[in-house]
Amino acid sequence: MAALMAAGPLLALLGLCLGPAAAVTPLVIWHGMGDSCCNPVSMGYIQKLVEKKIPGIYVLSLKIGSNMIQDMENSFFMNVNDQVREVCSQLATDPHLQGGYNAMGFSQGGQFLRAVAQRCPAPPMFNLISIGGQHQGRVYGFPRCPGESSHVCDWIRKTLDLGAYTKAVQEHLVQAEYWHDPLKEEDYRKNSIFLADINQERGINETYKKNLMALKKFVMVKFLNDTMVDPPISEWFGFYKSGQAKETIPLQETSLYKEDRLGLQEMDKAGKLVFLGVKGDHLHFSEEWFDSTILPFLQ
């Protein structure tokens, strides 16, 4: 008994020397078009995988709406700026996230979470992982459609062809809000209510720049055999050379980078930008690749 009593103060002192165990940084996930927060074969699977590999981690898979059906529908039809405001509110009121979090977005969820980083610095986002996110937008880009939403995408194609930059379409069709037509750059800059704003196409919002530069790492994953995103280099923040739709240029050759409107040039020089390529079509990757390549950014 005496030995146990003596050990008590010794263990307490040892605990003070070692300090408290490091908490695991929470993770926020945002799904892509036609998906939902908790689909067991997509985001639900990813959430369970992360929780299994990183014991004790808190994972919030974002749901926009009161159920999975609404969440899926909102990925097509709810104004992106309203979605971002909703997410910022969710993050600000979640007690698990107040010390900061990592974020991982899939497809359009990648650029939406970047908007969160730029617009809502509290709680702080540490690392942003964009898996197939289209940061310079997409165009001509619905060769196929996710899940069981083919009839929806048929309608979207027709609507975008009729007038992606009209006020009604911009306000009520998510995919129009990051539709970037290299042959209609002036229309895009003037009328895009989401992407042109977060990409500083109409002027410099220094707060956006400051907030994005606060990231420790901005990881961009490009699918090397992508048949869904046009152009695929948008996943690395590149795009078509201005005024045509054949030749693409990398981020470093864009005016966005050269003028450093978002701070990406400075982040690049500081080693904060990470460009990863993975073989496969859009959002096709193996668990082994995810474990070895993505999980280290979450630990």
Exactly one of 31, 135, 180, 282 is catalytic; name it: 282
Residue 151 bears catalytic tag: no
Residue 282 bears catalytic tag: yes
Question: Is 236 exposed, middle or buried, given 0-12, 13-18 or 19+ CB atoms closer than 10 A?
Answer: buried
The Cα 210–Cα 228 span in angstroms is 32
Exactly one of 35, 71, 197, 226 is catalytic; name it: 226
What number of helices (H) and strands (E) belong to the chain? 13, 8
Q: Give all strands (DSSP E) within the chain, no chain letters.
A: 27-30, 59-61, 101-106, 125-131, 217-223, 239-240, 248-249, 273-278
Exactly one of 61, 75, 107, 192 is catalytic; name it: 107
Nearest 5°: the CA angle 259, 106, 80 is 70
Residue 135 bears catalytic tag: no
Catalytic residue numbers read 107, 226, 282
